[in-house]
Amino acid sequence: MGDRARRQPPVGTPPSLQGIDAVGNPHAQFLATEHWSLLATRSMTWSEIFSRTGTYLTVLSATVIALSLVANASGFGRDFQMFALLVLPVALLIGLGTFFRLIEADVEDAWLVIGMNRLRHAYLELAPELEPYFVTSHHDDAPGMMTTYSFRNRVGLTHWMSGSPVVVGIINAVVVGVLAGVICEIANAGDVLRTVAGATAALLAAAVLGVVGYRRVREVSREYQPRFPG
């Protein structure tokens, strides 16, 4: 689903379900059906996140093993360098695709959480006495979404650093650095120049990926308007 389909039309006064009897009412059944649908979609999204991350790490591990076998067979000469130039860009391409897909999957997961928060808001309009039993939020603003995610209004740096997109992005930056070092080796650059070039390329790649991911999240956040803020 594209961004245009996700954009919410301006809402003056949100619809209210107060005064509707929850017992045997079809509204409650419709809400429950939608809730299970969003939950199943979120489960598939998380499965895709784990699957794509695992696939990339498997490809990268196979690449490292192949490089080590070629190095043992032929040393770190011209044959190894040409083979590294062949397999490292392929691994990097898969890594970049995985990174961008993980960013989009996190955005989609946030929308699913927002949808379930709105449904909880409807549940509490039908049965306000159930509010003390909910540990997740029934507000669709940023604090409400974070409460559902982690049971707190905001998370720290360690939470963000341990996320799949960040981990994959760091690995991609390392691959870029190694590839830059191989290119310098082919160009007969000195050890110091290879080290500096590899480290610079890795840091630059990490910065670029970080900015791209942050801008994507900010773009979606800027366009969103909550209907049931806390």
Provide the pLDDT for residue 173.
96
CA distance 20 to 25: 8
Provide the pLDDT for residue 9.
44
Provide the pLDDT for residue 6.
45
Is residue 89 within 8 Å of residue 59, measured between CB atoms? no
Provide the pLDDT for residue 180.
94
Provide the pLDDT for residue 215.
92
Provide the pLDDT for residue 153.
67
3-state secondary structure of 116: helix
| Nearest in space to 185 (alpha carbons), one of 65, 88, 69, 62 | 88
205 — pLDDT class (breaks 50, 70, 90): very high
3 — pLDDT class (breaks 50, 70, 90): very low
- Degrees, nearest 5: CA angle 82-84-88: 135
Mean pLDDT of the chain: 85
CA distance 79 to 106: 41
159 — pLDDT class (breaks 50, 70, 90): confident
CA distance 87 to 205: 19
Which stretches of the chain are DSSP H helices? 3-6, 26-74, 78-126, 142-150, 157-161, 164-186, 191-223
Residue bearing tokens 């049971």: 151
CA distance 203 to 79: 28
